[in-house]
Amino acid sequence: MSFEITIDHRIGDRQIRLDCRTRPGLVALFGPSGAGKTSILNMVAGIMTPDRGRITAAGETLFDSEAAINIPPARRKAGYVFQDGRLFPHMRVQANLLYGRHAGAPMSFEAVLQFLGIGHLLDRWPVTLSGGEAQRVAIGRALLSGPRFLLLDEPLSSLDPARREEILPVIERLKRELAMPILYVSHDRAEVDRLADQIIAL
């Protein structure tokens, strides 16, 4: 089992509830904007705290309201790729990749460069990157942080069709070659049909 997420959380007048136990592989949270997909990802990452419930990932309990367990975000070892990449604009690509680098990373720095095809970008500033290049760098930064699982929040939504086709095979390779639990958020049905081993509709 990759993830076990049982949560109940209110944001304003909106109630977010989910009760799921997932299989290994890439699990997609699928639904319209406003369904709470990103909020659920943030709860798994520890950025938000559910009102009640239990969250486990890769065999470790990250949050349990009844047992008073709430592992801090930095210790959850989540590799988080945001919708907009969120690269540090004042750092070149190499510094972005090495920020938060962890000795327990599943791939070496050189292996990440080769896997993602970003070795030629090391001296570039984020502002000069295309959307697809920026997302590949963001994925590389997540991999180098030593994650036990990956969280991908609509990583293709801000890209044009050509750039989307550039990143989709990268995500397929991640799923196939890393054998790491992946929780993936999208509102695009064709995208999740192509990528996901399991789809959870919200």
CA distance 6 to 34: 19
Residue 106, pLDDT score: 77
Domain span at residue 72 reads: 3-201
Residue 79, pLDDT score: 93
What are the residues whose beta carbons fall under 8 Å from the beta carbon of 171, sequence distance 6 or more?
26, 152, 155, 184, 195
Residue 34, pLDDT score: 81
pTM to 2 decimal places: 0.92
Give the total number of structural domains in the chain: 1
Residue 1, pLDDT score: 61
pLDDT lower than 70: segments of the chain? 1
Could you tell me which of 108, 110, 191 has the C-alpha nearest to residue 153? 191
CATH of the domain at 141: 3.40.50.300
Residue 101, pLDDT score: 87
Residue 32, pLDDT score: 84
Q: End-to-end CA distance of the chain: give it in Å, rounded.
A: 20
